[in-house]
Amino acid sequence: MARLIIVSNRLPMSLHSRPDGTYVLTQNIGGLSTAIGPYHKSHKDCLWVGWSGIDPTTRTEDEINAISDEFTRHRCIPIFLDSKQINGYYAGYSNDTLWPLFHDFAHEAKFDSLTWKAYEEVNEKFADTIAALANPDDTVWVQDYHLMLLPALLRARQPKLKIGWFLHIPFPSPEIFHQLPNGKELLEGLMGADLLGFHTEDFCANFLASVKSMLNLGIDKGGRISVQEDGRQRFVTVDAFPIGMDYGLYRRNARSSLAQAMRHGIEAFSGKRTRRVSTSLSAESRAAAEAEESWSAYTEDDLSEVKLAQSAAAKRGTRDNKVIVSVDRLDYTKGLPERLRAFALMLSRYPEWVGHVTYYLLATPSREGVESYRQLKEHVDQLVGEINGKYSLLSWTPIHYITRSLPIKPVCGIYSAGDVALVTPLRDGMNLVAKEYLASRDGRDGALVLSDQCGAASELTDAYIVNPYDTEAVCEALHSALEISSAEAKRRNAVMQARLKYRTASLWSTEFLSALRQVSDPRWADRRL
Ligand code: GDG
């Protein structure tokens, strides 16, 4: 029976050791495992190949065998990479070269022939593992920028495989791509695939422009690239497949009692008057309740900031306090410093918000071993400190800053509490957070301020679309989003929610795989476009 083999840098599960020496696997967090994980789980004929997260030089042979067995029980085929390979291929070439360059951060990109060698070596290792387990009629779906050489390496080993590749991040303009010393080899690596998928038509156009200028290959009007293989013509089809998310999962989680208790805790902590604090939640809501009680404790003798807040409150009349939320990996592409500056500008330009809007900023640790990420963390820590130091009142702090990863229900609680979601990456392939926010507020109001630099902006056109570099524009959009009427917010959201409900992650994988089946059919070559 023909099978589907999903391939990604990291497996969707991580291994943990129990005290008794046995192992347990837990699901990884992140866009990819939530997008394709359900397909893998529900299809018994689907395998997943990826890095195990384990350095084989730190384990005995028996341990490696036991670990492999545990992964295989979950239809995961582990690849073991030592720390030198990981430093070169993953931290080095993938995350220090391709990631910044593909996000238009060319100044952050490092070019190093040693990391490139490691990238080649690891792509070969993946190819050997897959070729050893794949049958000729299997389908292989390769994910992302870590494995751009893999399609051609696989084609050379198993010419009959149906091979697809999807890029989860942007594909840059040809001018930027041309700066990459090994760009031509990467494009040639991709020519081993039958179907290449991107989030948007713009990324497809950027990719085809690079192929046109760097490889001497014909491209027809339908975006099919013609390659010659052993004297025969084969087509590589390029198309856009905007990724969706599991709408039902976020809606359900946001309605769970834990998420609702979190939401009420956040609302109470932010001084919202309309909500009653849930009695069922422990520390969070108790702290929130205490904050609510101290809210009325101001006196005329308090600091001048409190007087400012009181006059601001008078200006705001009886309207409720507001909550802004954001959820990001702590990555320089996500635009956290720029966003914080816009928030600070709003507090100074519209002082009526001082004391009346709280920003819940969840910044999940990411790539902590990389120097530029450590520097970014310091920079964001510093900015949050400055803004909190400058604007805090005795019983109010403008930014509630969390720098650890939370389980999905509290994340949905954060989304659910957000009157406004501030999603302003400087560059992003799609951005699932914007979509998750809308799903978590299914049927409710809430305003989305969204960067025009992410794939999601071309789908979520009823959001407040902003240029994330334009501090003034983000500040104004944020102010308007906070002021939007509930009816208008609901109207805007309904349009976007209807789309997201339909265009789910599962539809995305089904559409990609059915397109791959179609274009790898030999009769596809005869179709004129
Ligand atoms: C890449 C592309 C593209 C974050 N913190 C926590 C947490 N998250 C989850 C979010 C969301 C995911 O991580 C992040 O997805 P994004 O799409 O926003 O960004 P990347 O990780 O950069 O993903 C991106 C995506 O691939 C898919 O193609 O959209 O453009 O860069 O799901 O909710 N989840 C939990 N706790 C956290 O603390 N549970």
- Write the pLDDT tens digit of every residue in 132-155: 999 999 999 999 999 999 999 999
What pLDDT, on the 0 to 100 scale, is given for residue 303? 41
Per-position DSSP letters for 290-348, written without gaps between them: HHHHHGGG--TTS-HHHHHHHHHHHHHTTPPPEEEEEEEES-GGG-HHHHHHHHHHHHH
Taking only the tens place, the pLDDT of each residue in 167-215 is 999 999 999 999 999 999 999 999 999 999 999 999 999 999 999 999 9
ipTM over 0.90: yes
Taking only the tens place, the pLDDT of each residue in 330-341 is 999 999 999 999
Residue 276 above 80 pLDDT?
no
Query: What gap in Å lies between CA 501 and CA 258, rounded to an integer?
Result: 23
Q: Which residue has the higher pLDDT, 251 or 527?
A: 251
Q: How confident is the model at residue 299 (pLDDT cuts 50, 70, 90)?
A: very low
Residue 405 CA, closest ligand 1 atom number: 38
Per-position DSSP letters for 143-154, written without gaps between them: ESGGGSSHHHHH
Q: Which residue has the higher pLDDT, 445 or 293?
A: 445
**Are 183 and 176 spatial neighbours (Cβ–Cβ below 8 Å)?**
no
Taking only the tens place, the pLDDT of each residue in 439-486 is 999 999 999 999 999 999 999 999 999 999 999 999 999 999 999 999
Residue 298 above 50 pLDDT?
no
Q: How confident is the model at residue 314 (pLDDT cuts 50, 70, 90)?
A: low
Q: How confident is the model at residue 320 (pLDDT cuts 50, 70, 90)?
A: confident
Residue 170 CA, closest ligand 1 atom number: 30
- Distance (angstroms) between ligand 1 centre and the Cα of 371 equals 21
Q: How confident is the model at residue 275 (pLDDT cuts 50, 70, 90)?
A: very low
Average pLDDT estimate for 20-48: 86
What pLDDT, on the 0 to 100 scale, is given for residue 521? 83
Closest CA to 412 of 293, 270, 254: 254
**Are 377 and 403 spatial neighbours (Cβ–Cβ below 8 Å)?**
yes
Residue 334 CA, closest ligand 1 atom number: 22
- Distance (angstroms) between ligand 1 centre and the Cα of 435 equals 11
Least confident of 231-245, 300-314, 405-419, 513-527: 300-314
- Distance (angstroms) between ligand 1 centre and the Cα of 14 equals 17
What pLDDT, on the 0 to 100 scale, is given for residue 319? 63
Query: What gap in Å lies between CA 452 and CA 455, rounded to an integer?
Result: 8
- Distance (angstroms) between ligand 1 centre and the Cα of 246 equals 13
Residue 32 CA, closest ligand 1 atom number: 27
Residue 168 CA, closest ligand 1 atom number: 28
Report the residue among 432, 433, 451, 454 best suited for mutation to probe ligand 1: largest number of ligand atoms under 8 A from its CB: 432
Q: How confident is the model at residue 230 (pLDDT cuts 50, 70, 90)?
A: confident
Name residues contacting ligand 1 (CB within 6 A). 29-31, 34, 168-169, 243, 327, 329, 362, 364, 405-408, 411, 428-433, 436
- Distance (angstroms) between ligand 1 centre and the Cα of 312 equals 36
Check the CA dihedral 265-266-269-274 and report its sign. negative
Report the residue among 430, 437, 509 best suited for mutation to probe ligand 1: largest number of ligand atoms under 8 A from its CB: 430
- What's the pTM value of the predicted model, to 2 decimals? 0.91
Residue 433 CA, closest ligand 1 atom number: 18
Query: What gap in Å lies between CA 73 and CA 321, rounded to an integer?
Result: 51
Average pLDDT estimate for 69-75: 95
Residue 393 above 60 pLDDT?
yes
- Distance (angstroms) between ligand 1 centre and the Cα of 430 equals 10
Residue 331 CA, closest ligand 1 atom number: 22
Q: How confident is the model at residue 35 (pLDDT cuts 50, 70, 90)?
A: confident
Least confident of 254-258, 260-264, 291-295, 489-493: 291-295
Taking only the tens place, the pLDDT of each residue in 357-366 is 999 999 998 8
Residue 309 above 70 pLDDT?
no
**Are 5 and 134 spatial neighbours (Cβ–Cβ below 8 Å)?**
yes
Closest CA to 452 of 326, 335, 361: 335
Q: How many CB atoms lie within 10 A of CB 45?
A: 11
Residue 412 above 90 pLDDT?
yes
- Distance (angstroms) between ligand 1 centre and the Cα of 352 equals 33
Averaged pLDDT score across all residues of the chain:
90
